[in-house]
Chains A and B, each alone.
Chain A
Amino acid sequence: MTENKSNDPANDSSRRTFLKYMTMLGAAAVSVGVLRGALQNIAPAISGITGGFPTMQLVDSSGNPIKTTSLVVNNPQIVTFNYPLQSDPSFLLRLGDSSNNDKVINPVSVPASPGFPAFTSPGGTGPYKSVVASSAICQHLGCKPPAIRFHPPSASSYPGKIHCGCHGSTYDPYNGFSIITGPTVHPLPNITLNWDSTSDTYSVTGMLGPTIYGQPSDLSGGTPFPSGTTKTTVTSEVP
């Protein structure tokens, strides 16, 4: 080990600097190689379903199809089903006026919200055009029922509104679930229902409007139904 480096003709500072930079290039190559692999590896695959929105029949807990008579107008209970993924609660509402008579819900245009264009809400379905459905996950910060729920027109607070108790967002189910008060900046995603007039049964066929809160798309980012599932169960709970 020679201590006096300057006497060594093979050792000059420019070559040392060159070697240093070459080593740094090598280290950079190693970092790129490791980071590419590591960063891509630690993000898991997104779970969800492929293809379009599934069509699912609404059934009760015994598996029998939901009929119009089994839906209560202005039901004070929280009536939900899961759609399009098993982890996506959605509201099922049979809307009425303050005397609890069915109210016709007409298709309305819901204005654009940040990142999402305006869309036409499908309006009510069923024999009285009064049954509507939407995502039950608040678009503000993702609260789920019972924190967010429909208050019937006879209620003392928020009559006829969907109100989220977490931060106070209010939506209007009679107007395409559009925003009444913030802090939400998006309306609730609308769910399209299809009513079969001969058998009086309901099925869900798709969604309109913003993407369900917290998911990269409506069909991914949650727990999917087991493959081959064609029915989704409607449940009610007392708030």
Chain B
Amino acid sequence: MSDKKTSSTSLRMPSLIGESTTLIKNIFNDPQPLPRKVPDYMRGKGGFWYWTGAMVMTAFLYEALTGLVLLFYYQPSNAYVSTMAFLNNTPYGVVILTSHLYGAYAMIVLMYLHLLRNLFVGAYKKPREIQWLTGIILLLLTIGVGYFGYSMSGDVLSQDAVDVGKGILQAFPISSIGLWLSLVFYGGGSTISLFSRLLGWHIVLAASIGVIFALHFFIAEYNTIMPKVEKGADKAPLVDKESKEYKPWFPYNMVYMSQISFLVMGLIILIPSILAVTPNVPELFSPFPQAAPGTAAAATAILYPPWFLLFIYKEMDFQLSIAVGPFWATVIYAGIPLIYLFLLPVLDRSENLKMQDRTVHVALGISGIAYLIGLSVWGAVDYGIEVAYWAFILFFAGIAIPVYLVTRYITDAVKSGKFKEASLPAMIVLMTLIAVFSFVSGIGITSYLASPDTGNAAIMIVLLVITVLLVVSAIAMILGILPEITWKSDKRMSGSSYTFLGAGYAFCAIALVSVMMVISPYGVYNGSLYGIGLGLLFIIMAAMLRLYRSYVYHE
């Protein structure tokens, strides 16, 4: 297939159409058989980063399955009552409803992880531009599905989310189009029309995720995986199917994939089930719907958006947003990062995968995460407080400029050989954490100054200590003081340890499932206990598969 590579040094957007045509032709006229060989390093230490997409897919499949069950029970004419009846009175309803919520959270978090990983390793570059673009579309669709799903419960927060969405759409510069959009998404005003639309759009967008995901996946299969990062400027794809380091998909990859799927699903079930039996869970992470609108309890609820939209919520507090109105504020704050992400394959056209040669985009990636997390935390703590222009500029420049300068310093050090290239990914993670924690510590300090009590003092001190520790480890890493961490790829235990662990896991699994069988299926508390058991069972299963791979496949 290498004959298709032309010397297109100037890739422009229109030529993407040509690229896609070639891609489609190659996929359908010269299909790669699916049972293919996969390199060992994808399943080795650090191979996790090759599977972020698979984890998103696991979360998506989990969402589809639990969503179809919820579809049996959801009544648009009776949204809140039917949701609460499913939660309280349907056997194991609590497990399905809360894990559907947390599965969506997991999908969004994993998607960001997948996006960032691909940004840092340069996976948006030729020949993967279409893969990257479909990925950005999938992110948008996922957030959209999340928004509609969140709005479906009919609680006080969902009502608020719908009102905000309507407000943004109706502020569209051409009012008749704004009205049309609002009618299409939110119906003609009656409750049943609203919730039928929300349900419809939730399913339509989820289905389109399925379709575009299929495209994304098959392009990825066609382009094959990224080459080893250490191979640096090698042009992707770099796959040698004759090498002994490549093994067939079955059983090696299937067992590995099952392992990570069980782990992801286990966490999706376990975390909300634990939260469901934990008292005083903060509203943002509560696995339950809030009070119904118009009730006394609703008056005390904090009107948060879902956490994955908190950053936009905070941005609405900027003086600039207030000046231009909610529609243009959304276009600016959501649009600029999106345009950047869409244009990235065009902005960075080199075929160089080395991070040290992509300082600007690496620095923008780090700043982007810091903005996203920083704004979200800011929105959770100080919402609805107007932010002056100077603070707005300070926030954006105060993160971007130091991040750029440090990144420049590091990449220069890599180029001059003073900093190990292999430590670069760890350094990027560290820098991101420093950027996030510095800003969050700042929020901690201002919260303490605003209300100096023990709780705020403790939070502030913990945040400052973490920030200092992160900075110290970064400096240690730059100076080369930190010992290089090496992993042995084949950690083998004694034979009897395998026997002992295998029997132990199986015993735990059977003991757990026996206990679960006698738990009454009714009630939120009992259901949550069942969910905890089920989540642990999935995680034990993942551990058993890990053990099996270690013993039988030497992985």
For the complex, is A238 an interface residue (Cβ under 8 Å from B)? no
Contact A29 B93 (CB under 8 A): no
CB distance from A224 to the nearest CB of B (A): 15
Per a CB cutoff under 8 Å, which of B490, B494, B533, B552 touches A16?
A: B552
Docked complex: A64-113 residues within 8 A CB-CB of B? none
For the complex, is B272 an interface residue (Cβ under 8 Å from A)? no
A1, A12, A32, A42, most chain B CB atoms within 10 A: A1
Contact B541 A27 (CB under 8 A): yes
Question: Quick one: given A1-B490, A25-B506, A45-B89, are A40 and B521 in contact (CB under 8 Å)?
Answer: yes
- Cα distance A8–B493 in the bound complex, in angstroms: 12
CB distance from B39 to the nearest CB of A (A): 11
For the complex, is A11 an interface residue (Cβ under 8 Å from B)? yes
- Cα distance A11–B92 in the bound complex, in angstroms: 42
Contact B95 A2 (CB under 8 A): no
**CB nearest neighbor in B for A45:** B89
Identify whether the interface residues of B are mostly helix, strand, loop, or mixed: helix
- Cα distance A9–B516 in the bound complex, in angstroms: 39
Contact B533 A33 (CB under 8 A): yes
Question: Quick one: given A9-B495, A15-B495, A15-B551, are A41 and B96 in contact (CB under 8 Å)?
Answer: yes
CB distance from B9 to the nearest CB of A (A): 40
Contact A42 B69 (CB under 8 A): yes
Q: A10 contacts which chain B residues (CB < 8 A)?
A: 492-495, 498, 551
Q: A32 contacts which chain B residues (CB < 8 A)?
A: 513, 517
For the complex, is B386 an interface residue (Cβ under 8 Å from A)? no
Per a CB cutoff under 8 Å, which of B95, B498, B510, B517 touches A15?
A: B498
**CB nearest neighbor in B for A25:** B506
For B494-528 the 0/1 string (1 means CB < 8 A from A) is 11001100110110011011001100010000000
For the complex, is B90 an interface residue (Cβ under 8 Å from A)? yes
Contact B544 A26 (CB under 8 A): yes
Question: Quick one: given A2-B490, A15-B498, are A37 and B555 in contact (CB under 8 Å)?
Answer: no
Contact B495 A23 (CB under 8 A): no
For the complex, is B534 an interface residue (Cβ under 8 Å from A)? yes
Q: In which size bucket is the chain A interface?
A: 20 to 34
CB distance from A46 to the nearest CB of B (A): 12
For the complex, is B548 an interface residue (Cβ under 8 Å from A)? yes
- Cα distance A37–B519 in the bound complex, in angstroms: 11
Q: In which size bucket is the chain B interface?
A: 35 or more
CB distance from A21 to the nearest CB of B (A): 8
Contact A30 B551 (CB under 8 A): no
- Cα distance A15–B501 in the bound complex, in angstroms: 12
Contact B512 A29 (CB under 8 A): yes
CB distance from B503 to the nearest CB of A (A): 6
CB distance from B248 to the nearest CB of A (A): 14
Contact A18 B502 (CB under 8 A): yes
Contact B96 A29 (CB under 8 A): no
**CB nearest neighbor in A for B244:** A3
Contact A22 B495 (CB under 8 A): no
For the complex, is B256 an interface residue (Cβ under 8 Å from A)? no
For the complex, is B241 an interface residue (Cβ under 8 Å from A)? no
- Cα distance A201–B503 in the bound complex, in angstroms: 75
For the complex, is B545 an interface residue (Cβ under 8 Å from A)? yes
Q: B390 contacts which chain A residues (CB < 8 A)?
A: none
Contact B509 A29 (CB under 8 A): yes
- Cα distance A130–B89 in the bound complex, in angstroms: 46
For the complex, is A44 an interface residue (Cβ under 8 Å from B)? yes
Q: A29 contacts which chain B residues (CB < 8 A)?
A: 506, 509-510, 512-513, 537, 541
Docked complex: B15-53 residues within 8 A CB-CB of A? 40
For the complex, is B77 an interface residue (Cβ under 8 Å from A)? no
Q: B264 contacts which chain A residues (CB < 8 A)?
A: none
Q: B537 contacts which chain A residues (CB < 8 A)?
A: 29-30, 33
Per a CB cutoff under 8 Å, which of A1, A22, A26 touches B40?
A: A1
Question: Quick one: given A33-B513, A33-B537, are A1 and B499 in contact (CB under 8 Å)?
Answer: no
A15, A19, A20, A34, most chain B CB atoms within 10 A: A19
Q: A45 contacts which chain B residues (CB < 8 A)?
A: 89-90
Q: A27 contacts which chain B residues (CB < 8 A)?
A: 541
CB distance from A40 to the nearest CB of B (A): 4
- Cα distance A27–B538 in the bound complex, in angstroms: 9
B494, B530, B537, B547, most chain A CB atoms within 10 A: B537
Q: A44 contacts which chain B residues (CB < 8 A)?
A: 72-73, 90
Contact A11 B506 (CB under 8 A): no
Q: B69 contacts which chain A residues (CB < 8 A)?
A: 38, 41-42
CB distance from B99 to the nearest CB of A (A): 11
Question: Quick one: given A29-B537, A41-B69, are A36 and B516 in contact (CB under 8 Å)?
Answer: yes
Question: Quick one: given A29-B537, A32-B513, A34-B534, are A23 and B72 in contact (CB under 8 Å)?
Answer: no
**CB nearest neighbor in B for A10:** B495
Contact B541 A15 (CB under 8 A): no
Contact B510 A2 (CB under 8 A): no
Q: A40 contacts which chain B residues (CB < 8 A)?
A: 91-92, 521
Contact B93 A41 (CB under 8 A): yes
For the complex, is B554 an interface residue (Cβ under 8 Å from A)? yes
**CB nearest neighbor in A for B247:** A1
For B478-490 the 0/1 string (1 means CB < 8 A from A) is 0000000000011
Contact A26 B91 (CB under 8 A): no
- Cα distance A15–B361 in the bound complex, in angstroms: 51
**CB nearest neighbor in B for A5:** B554
Contact A30 B521 (CB under 8 A): no
For the complex, is B400 an interface residue (Cβ under 8 Å from A)? no
Contact A23 B502 (CB under 8 A): yes
Contact B554 A36 (CB under 8 A): no
Per a CB cutoff under 8 Å, which of B530, B545, B555 touches A23?
A: B545
Q: B509 contacts which chain A residues (CB < 8 A)?
A: 25-26, 29-30
Contact B502 A41 (CB under 8 A): no
What are 6 A-to-B residue pairs whose CB atoms are below 8 Å?
A1-B490, A19-B498, A19-B552, A22-B506, A41-B90, A45-B89
Given contacts A22-B502, A22-B544, A26-B509, 16 further A-B contacts (CB under 8 A): A1-B245, A2-B490, A5-B554, A10-B492, A10-B494, A10-B551, A11-B495, A16-B552, A22-B505, A22-B506, A25-B510, A29-B506, A29-B510, A30-B537, A41-B93, A42-B69
A-B pairs, 4 with minimum CB distance: A29-B509, A22-B506, A22-B502, A10-B495
Seen from chain A, the residues whose Cβ lies within 8 Å of a Cβ on chain B are 1-3, 5, 8-12, 15-16, 18-20, 22-23, 25-27, 29-30, 32-34, 36-38, 40-42, 44-45
